[in-house]
Chain A
Amino acid sequence: MAIINQATKELQVKIVYYGPAMGGKTTNLVQVHDHVQTAAGNKGKLVSLATSSDRTLFFDFLPIEAMSIKGFKTKFQLYTVPGQVIYNTTRQLVLRGVDGIVFVADSQYEKMAENVESFTNMEENLKTLKLNLADIPYVLQYNKRDLPNVAPTEYLEFLLHNREVQVPSFCSTAHRCEGVFETLNMITRMLLNKFIRQGTPQYA
């Protein structure tokens, strides 16, 4: 959970991009890294622990700082998980201490089963950490909207968003940076509002 350092007026928040393999999680981070407007020195290096074929092996990590929040130095740590099914233990490790989640779904028709499986897997992994998805701010991102074989957003909503608690969802084409910043801004706003409302995240 978030680290609040009252001594140094620092707030650190962990956001994890989750979703099926090859859905665009790493692309989201790459686009944020390449295009985010920052004051000098507050954008960290994008670290990718990937295989030789550029598939995420452990996680991608990007630390960035929001400029517009006054009073606290607010640092966001963006992580991705490896999407491939075999790396489940790794996904559990990366989820540890998560504050907010972006679920990146692949909009292609043939990926629907993988989307649902990944979403269910995310809920299960959160349970192993004694966390409940209903208590964690999250947003849905329907990626790859530029491809010809995409399912209608209504169908994606039905599969992934058919639940009591409604959360924001975004269409995106991550490789063109469309929808990437909208998604990131929404999850960060949701997180900060949750902290202010509840006032009980973890501290340092």
Chain B
Amino acid sequence: MSTLPQLIEEDIERLDYELRELLEKTDASTALIIDKGGFLITSQGDSRQFDLTTIAALASGAYMANQTIANLVHETNFNSVYQQGEKFSMFVLCIDDYCMLTVIFKASLSVGAIKYFSIPAAQHIALQLKIAQERDPGAGLDLSELNLANTSDLFKRKA
């Protein structure tokens, strides 16, 4: 299975910048970059009124399910999902093989504008991910600060 590149602070800053720019241009509420396995990588905007961890998991599942449906009806050009709501809507756009851009916006906003500005944002994000990949494609993992002492019970049952 393909791997995501190792993202350092500089990468995350760039990704966050792109998300902020997108929010500014569209007036959307929240923008997230999520991994296709369901992990939240980074987000900008209002993170208080939404459970972003759960949204990331569900948006990833919804996107992948829709992609599978598209394949079943022989649709080869599938790269986005739009969920229309009455209060908030959501637009999910493929960034590359591993990641997706998710934008949550007030239903009163135009989805056309969200799509229009999301496409270049996704391209910029993809470019930064590519830079990260090329920087050190075989980079090792530094978990030296991970302390596994006293972890006989990582999760404890309530008494």
Contact = CB atoms under 8 A, between A and B. Distances in A.
Contacts of A37: 155-159
Given A7-B12, A97-B38, A196 B3 contact: no
A116 B35 CA distance: 32
Majority-rule SS of A interface residues? mixed
B12 A5 contact: yes
B73 interface: no
Contact of A44 (B53, B61, B64, B139): B53
Contacts of B39: 3, 12, 14, 77, 97, 204
B57 A77 contact: yes
A153 interface: no
Interface stretch (A140-148, A156-164, A185-193): A185-193
Contacts of A193: 148
A196 B5 CA distance: 18
Given A77-B39, A185-B154, A200-B141, A131 B9 contact: no
Contacts of B4: 3, 202-204
A192 B146 contact: yes
A96 interface: yes
Majority-rule SS of B interface residues? loop
Interface in B5-60: 5-9, 11-12, 35-42, 51, 53-54, 57-58
B76 interface: no
A37 B155 CA distance: 7
A74 B147 CA distance: 11
A68 interface: yes
A32 B157 CA distance: 8
Contacts of B153: 68, 181, 185
